[in-house]
Amino acid sequence: MKMSFETLEIDIHDPKIAVVTMNRPHALNSMNTKMMEELRDVFQEFYLSPDETNCIILTGKGTRGFCAGADLKERDGMSAATWKRQHAIIEQCIRHIFACPVPIIAAVNGAAFGGGFEIALAMDFIYASETAKMALPEVTRGIMPGAAGPQNLPRACGVRRAKELILTGQAIDANQALEWGIVNRVCAPDKLLENALETARIIAQNAPIGVRQAKKSMDKATELDRNSGYSFEIEAYNLTVPTEDRLEGVRAFNEKRKPVFTGQ
């Protein structure tokens, strides 16, 4: 990736894993307008150039904060028109995340509040540090969550638990988030990124086309009735059949070796 950023760090690990780090640790990696724009742009780039990356990890700089949501110091006194214009940037970012064909893991290394928690929820799944705290406190600030939290949280933990979290604005810790199905794994703080990279490497070594088609099919599972979802799944499956990776996978199995996938 040739893009450069002020508020993000991009590191590439083999095999084709992109680690995106939100880099405003002095403000718990809260999103000012610049970060919102850069998050939007980087996920747009992942959509435009999916073959360059096999898996993505999103995390925050430091140990105290994944992302504390929008920067409320910047928003203090902001007019309604400017607020809506700024929020439209996050709306674009969320839509780019939804459209991203590449698997995305959130590595939540501390506070994930408001829009920060919503961005984590928009990922394919979440690993969290033992020190992580998560909340959607927008109703305590005079608004409501607006970065797809009300869409993604019920899909993760059920409608009743999501209502409790969103309507109270209260925080939960990593262990409760694990119990409720919001996060997949709780990690020691110094092992979080390492654990996320271990899983990312497993994903990234699998057949890229198969992985992306499977991701799309699972995304549709919560949007369509079962028969319609299965019809979509079969269409996605059929696109993997004429690939070189399908031939390589079977050949490698019969030759008792590890397959070498090319995404072709």
Residue by residue, what is the 3-state secondary structure of the chain?
Answer: CCCCCCCEEEEEECCCEEEEEECCHHHCCCECHHHHHHHHHHHHHHHHCHHHCCEEEEEECCCCEEECCECHHHHCCCCHHHHHHHHHHHHHHHHHHHHCCCCEEEEECCEEECHHHHHHHHCCEEEEECCCEEECCHHHHCCCCCCCHHHHHHHHHCHHHHHHHHHHCCCEEHHHHHHCCCCCEEECHHHHHHHHHHHHHHHHCCCHHHHHHHHHHHHHHCCCCHHHHHHHHHHHHHCCCCCHHHHHHHHHHHCCCCCCCCCC
Closest C-alpha among 113, 153, 148 to residue 132:
113
Contact 217, 229 (CB under 8 A): yes
Q: Which residues are catalytic?
A: 118, 138
Tokens linked to 2 = 């040739």
